Structure 1
Amino acid sequence: MHTVVSLFSGCGGLDLGFQGNFSVFNRHYPALPFEIVAAYDNFSDAVETYKLNLGNEIACLDLSQKPTEDIPAADILIGGFPCQDFSSSGPKVGLSGERGQLYTALTHYMERYRPKIVIGENVPYLARLDRGKHLEHILNEYESVGYSFEVWELYCPDYGLPQSRRRLFLVGVRNDLPGFPRKPLPTHSAAYYTIDQALADLEPITDETITNQSQYFVASRATAGGGQGDHKNRRGDVAYCIRANARGRIQFHYELDRRLTVRECARLQSFPDDYVFPYSTQRNLTLIGNAVPPMVAHQVASSISRYLSEISEKQPTKNPEKLRRPRLPKQLGLSF
């Protein structure tokens, strides 16, 4: 069993993916050999939701202030460091923003505890903001403390998520370890799992026989502008990307004359139906929209598990430089 510390854990999507042993869309995602020994987030709603669903390993902690020595050592470090300053729908201030510097919490942990594997998660616009200079700065800093990194851009429908969502995974391996994990191969690129396939059984349910299904905003129309506004989903297609701010990007059901419910948004993010969100509609949608989809996280975690089973630390690499490889996929089209 490999120990894991989780930073910026949110409501637990990335952590659930690493733990495994959950079912969604009639598919079981088996348990993986990872144990979350500690998790941290500064948002009390996220912390309480994590405790309700995953366990008491999480603590409310300001990772911009708390010293790393109060956090335990682990084999694996994971963390979806805040994306608002890197998002295409945010202020786009990048590293100059207050939240844009929080990626350094991972650096401090890597320097102190030297985990074998590091997984950072963020929005794809991080790779494009200012022609990729912000991402390059982050990767250079991470590699300066003795790691090699690759950037995996995953289009989530390729892995069965019924939602048009892309995410970057920054995957790091300590330089004395051989080889590198393999980017997960698409499982659904030939036929995406659609919104109606995901939500059809919820159509007649209007109460709490399935938790959070009665929670949704009234079906008023948004004022379009700035890339925001109304979006009516289409039967036979994947959903629009689930956002943390449901008031700005309003999603309507593909057939019913209403917005999506909290449970429907959770489903589209691949949270199982027994994953409970205990707050008001907007507070719950914020948690869901900020989360890493567990089924996509499970694909990444499975790749890490396979890699760790293949290597032996008894044979360290004598020349860490030979591990260095192109860190960014060619399809991002970036130049520095």
Structure 2
Amino acid sequence: MQQKQTDSNITNTLPPLNKSRNFSVVSYFSGCGGLDLGIVGGFLYKDKEYSKLPFQILGAYDHDIKCIDTYKANIGDHAKKEDLSEADPSTMPAAEVLIGGFPCQDFSSCGPQGGLATIRGQMYKAMIRYMNHHKPKLVIGENVPHLAKMGGGSILETILTDFRDAGYRFEVWTMQAKDYGVPQGRVRLIFVGVREDLEGFPVMPTPTNEVNSIEWAIGDLINITDDSVPNQSQFFKANKAKKGNGQGDEANRADEPAYTIRANAKSRVHFHYKLERRLTVRECARIQTFPDSFVFAHSKTSSIMQIGNAVPPVLAHHVGTSIADYLQNIAERKDTRD
């Protein structure tokens, strides 16, 4: 679902950009940091460098201490364990950008589908409390595509109305990760909000048409059985379901993008395209576009949960590039007026 953009062409009419400053960011529901890594940039994935973007994360918050441990080990020590359902935004730094993949379990087609009737389903309001208090210039949210279908679209409209009532114009970008070079089929809703007093709007990233297969992503790992590549020795040895074709029991196809990497604590991780085993923790991380230098130090179950819940950093980098262009443009416009 892509809503009508507002004044997007402003980015095509402004003077050359001044890229000398960083924009401050606060991250809610940060998980292990996939969205954050992509927004900040400066990482290497499959021998391709994803450039450093002009963002500085002041604080990252999540309720799961294992996610916070992973974040600190790989991104930075600005992460903190926090129950965002009770958090007071006045105790957090004011930032120009708020990002957050608010909990999706009750909006997912694979989950309990409790929608807005559950505590988790109401967690997006934590972002609104921050917006009301600190008034960031821009807000980025992320969730699953099934949210748009629930209640005939009424749940999505409720969330958007609540976001807009905080004083923001919002669009929802429907983004298929495989259209942006991510080697898996993974559709996500990206919520983009701009404070009402600011002109223009970020432009939805144009698909790269660089479709990569699972073999492209993990083919070089096929003969590696130790942790010379971190987390490659870790995989679940569960057999296929005895009855029917249980979710997660499908085998990937070598020449196609992988099935969606899901946060699955029940060992139902998809099978390798060639080997008679499920995907390893590192293979799942590769498919999610985490660099090999990004290490997951917890159990297989915890690591798969962290990886499956994350936004693919490469997808996030495309979003971050668009956001950076917009913020640099309005900063340049202000400088020109002054």
Question: Is this a same-fold pair by TM over 0.5?
Answer: yes
Match of 1:166 among 181, 187, 191: 187
Match of 1:65 among 86, 96, 101: 86
* Distance in 1 (alpha carbons) for counterparts of 2:117 and 2:110: 17
Point out where structure 2 has 5 or more consecutive residues left out of the alignment. 1-21
Q: What do the CA deviations read for 1:240-269 (whole angstroms, capped 9, x no partner)?
A: 000110536431100111110000000000
Question: Do residues 198 (structure 1) and 220 (structure 2) align?
Answer: no
Point out where structure 1 has 5 or more consecutive residues left out of the alignment. 316-336
1:278 paired residue number: 297
Root-mean-square deviation (CA, aligned residues, Å) is 1.4
Q: What do the CA deviations read for 1:108-167 (whole angstroms, capped 9, x no partner)?
A: 011011100000100011111111111110110110111000000100000000011011
Q: Compared with structure 1, are the counterparts of its residues 301 and 117 closer, same or farther at alpha carbon in structure 2 (3 Å cutoff)?
A: same
Match of 1:213 among 215, 226, 232: 232
1:331 paired residue number: none
1:243 paired residue number: 262
Deviation, structure 1 residue 222: 2.5
Q: Which runs of 4+ in 1 moved over 3 A?
A: 223-227, 312-315
Question: Do residues 17 (structure 1) and 17 (structure 2) align?
Answer: no
Q: What do the CA deviations read for 1:199-220 (whole angstroms, capped 9, x no partner)?
A: 1110010001011000001151
Question: Do residues 181 (structure 1) and 202 (structure 2) align?
Answer: yes
Q: Compared with structure 1, are the counterparts of its residues 289 and 224 closer, same or farther at alpha carbon in structure 2 (3 Å cutoff)?
A: farther
* Distance in 2 (alpha carbons) for counterparts of 1:214 and 1:261: 7
Deviation, structure 1 residue 23: 1.1
* Distance in 1 (alpha carbons) for counterparts of 2:147 and 2:306: 21
Q: What do the CA deviations read for 1:76-116 (whole angstroms, capped 9, x no partner)?
A: 00000100010000111100011001000110011011100
Match of 2:71 among 34, 40, 50: 50
Q: Compared with structure 1, are the counterparts of its residues 255 and 227 closer, same or farther at alpha carbon in structure 2 (3 Å cutoff)?
A: closer
Q: Is 1:119–1:172's contact at 8 Å kept on the other side of the alignment?
A: yes
The residue identity in structure 1 corresponding to 2:185 is S
SS of residue matched to 2:269: strand
* Distance in 1 (alpha carbons) for counterparts of 2:246 and 2:240: 15
Q: Compared with structure 1, are the counterparts of its residues 205 and 226 closer, same or farther at alpha carbon in structure 2 (3 Å cutoff)?
A: closer
1:1-336 aligned at under 5 Å gives the runs 1-188=22-209, 191-223=210-242, 228-245=247-264, 247=266, 249-312=268-331, 314=334
Q: Is 1:224–1:230's contact at 8 Å kept on the other side of the alignment?
A: no
The residue identity in structure 2 corresponding to 1:310 is N
Q: Percent identity?
A: 53
* Distance in 1 (alpha carbons) for counterparts of 2:272 and 2:266: 15
Q: Compared with structure 1, are the counterparts of its residues 254 and 52 closer, same or farther at alpha carbon in structure 2 (3 Å cutoff)?
A: same
SS of residue matched to 2:67: helix
Q: Compared with structure 1, are the counterparts of its residues 82 and 226 closer, same or farther at alpha carbon in structure 2 (3 Å cutoff)?
A: farther
Q: Compared with structure 1, are the counterparts of its residues 74 and 224 closer, same or farther at alpha carbon in structure 2 (3 Å cutoff)?
A: farther
SS of residue matched to 2:270: strand
* Distance in 1 (alpha carbons) for counterparts of 2:157 and 2:311: 22
TM-score, with length taken from structure 2: 0.90
Deviation, structure 1 residue 28: 0.8
Q: Compared with structure 1, are the counterparts of its residues 289 and 223 closer, same or farther at alpha carbon in structure 2 (3 Å cutoff)?
A: farther
Q: Is 1:4–1:78's contact at 8 Å kept on the other side of the alignment?
A: yes
Deviation, structure 1 residue 227: 6.2
Q: Compared with structure 1, are the counterparts of its residues 193 and 41 closer, same or farther at alpha carbon in structure 2 (3 Å cutoff)?
A: same
